[in-house]
Amino acid sequence: MRLGRRKSRNRLVWVLCIVALALLVIPVVSILVGVAGRGLAHFRLSFLTTYPTGNVGGLLNSIEGTLVVTTGVLVLAGIIGVAGGVYLAEYCGDNGGQILRGASEVLAGIPSIVLGYVGYIALVLSLDWKYSLYAGIIVLSVLVVPYITKTTEVALRNVPTSYREGGEALGMRTGYLLRKLVLRPALPGIATGLIIAAAIAVGETAPLLLTLGYNEKSPTFSLHNSPSGFLTYNVFNDYNQPSAFLHQRADAAALILIVFVLVLIVVARVIVMMTQRNSPDRAQHAGKGPR
């Protein structure tokens, strides 16, 4: 009797867990199927190949803008983030780095809209850049630098200390050791961090609304007054407009965004899988000899 009650309670717990799993998986499927279905239903090739004029035309300006901004963020935030991560992991003691890590963590916790608004006040209004490509890139870079720093630092710390000790025992200089022995095994981790950054840059809306504005033409690269289109703008601005065509274009923009993000996720997964396959640990665990 008592055992029976315990057994049924056990079953109840696991049933609840299955329900929880379903509650997580169903929205994912619904989002992917819903966005893909709506986007594909009225997809036209002209969305990918033409510039918009007024309420007609395609998304080419936004696709170009998103790619340019993402590239800019990867360059700017990549340099700052990777350099910061290398410094925190290799050159700076645990105590000395505490304040820098704390700053990075606080920065990661700031809502993107606050960063965007500061960018709007400081760059767009006070420095009088107007809506500017560089204002958008700078704000998004501030947004993603903490992630790149963190992943770089973690990746470097996961490189076994014996590598460094071996190198130093052989008399290598620190910089040389870093370049030849430490950075190489950490590259997959650093690449994953950059992919996170790219995914965030592709998907952010609010900071770009405030700093990048919108423009129907290709992005120009001047510092002042160079607004640019970006894909999330097309979704946010057009989903509620009284025009069936604009709805279709917003759905198509959402579909392109999802495709971008899925590609980035798959690339990250492939990187992780390839690293695991090549690592000596795994070869030993699987019982295979070294190649």
**Does 40 help bind another protein (rule: CB under 8 A)?**
no
From 104, 64, 107, 110, select the one nearest 87 (Cα to Cα).
Answer: 104
| One-character DSSP codes across 147-180 | HHHHHHHHHHHTS-HHHHHHHHHTT--HHHHIII
Please tell me the number of Cα atoms within 13 Å of 88 on its side-chain side.
Answer: 25
Query: Whole-number minimum distance, CB 21 to another protein, in Å?
Result: 5
Please, which residues have CB within 8 angstroms of residue 8's CB and are 6 or more apart in sequence? none
| Interface map 116-135 toward another protein (x if CB under 8 A) | -xx-xxx--xx---------
d(CA 263, CA 268): 9
With CB under 8 A as the contact rule, the residue among 44, 269, 277, 282 that binds another protein is 269
Q: Which member of 34, 220, 223, 259 binds another protein (CB under 8 A)?
A: 34
State in angstroms the smallest separation of the CB of 221 from another protein: 23
**Interface with another protein (CB under 8 A), residue from 62, 132, 152, 205:** 205
Q: In the window 172-191, what residues touch another protein (CB under 8 A)? A: 172-177, 180-181, 189
In the numeric block, which tokens belong to residue 186?
């950490």
Q: Which is nearer to another protein, 90 or 136 (CB)?
A: 90
The answer to whether the beta carbons of residues 146 and 109 sit under 8 Å apart is: no
User: Does residue number 202 form part of the binding site for another protein (CB under 8 A)?
Assistant: yes
Counting residues that bind another protein (by CB under 8 A) gives: 116
Four-point Cα dihedral 89, 90, 93, 98, nearest 10:
-30
The CB-of-129 to another protein minimum distance in angstroms stands at 14
User: Hey, is 92 helix, strand or coil?
Assistant: coil
Determine which residue in the list 46, 111, 128, 243 makes contact with another protein, applying CB under 8 A. Answer: 111
Does 140 sit near another protein (CB under 8 A)?
no
Stretch that binds another protein, among 20-28, 53-61, 67-75, 219-227 (CB under 8 A): 20-28
How far apart (Å, rounded) are the C-alpha atoms in residues 203 and 200? 5
Which of 40, 41, 75, 114 forms a contact with another protein (CB under 8 A)? Answer: 114
SS3 136: helix
Provide the H-helix boundaries in 123-243.
133-157, 161-169, 174-177, 183-203, 206-211, 231-238
* Residue 212 near another protein by CB under 8 A: no
Least distance to another protein from the beta carbon of 80, Å? 5
Q: Which of residues 213-252 bind another protein (CB under 8 A)?
A: 232, 235-236, 239-240, 250-251
Which part of the chain contacts another protein (CB under 8 A), choosing from 16-24, 42-50, 55-63, 214-222?
16-24
Residue 171 CB contacts under 8 Å (≥ 6 apart), including other chains: none
Task: List residues bridging with 226 in a β-sheet.
Answer: 132
Interface of this chain with another protein, residues 48 to 107, rule: CB under 8 A: 79-80, 83-84, 86-88, 90-94, 99-100, 103-107
4 interacts with another protein by CB under 8 A: no
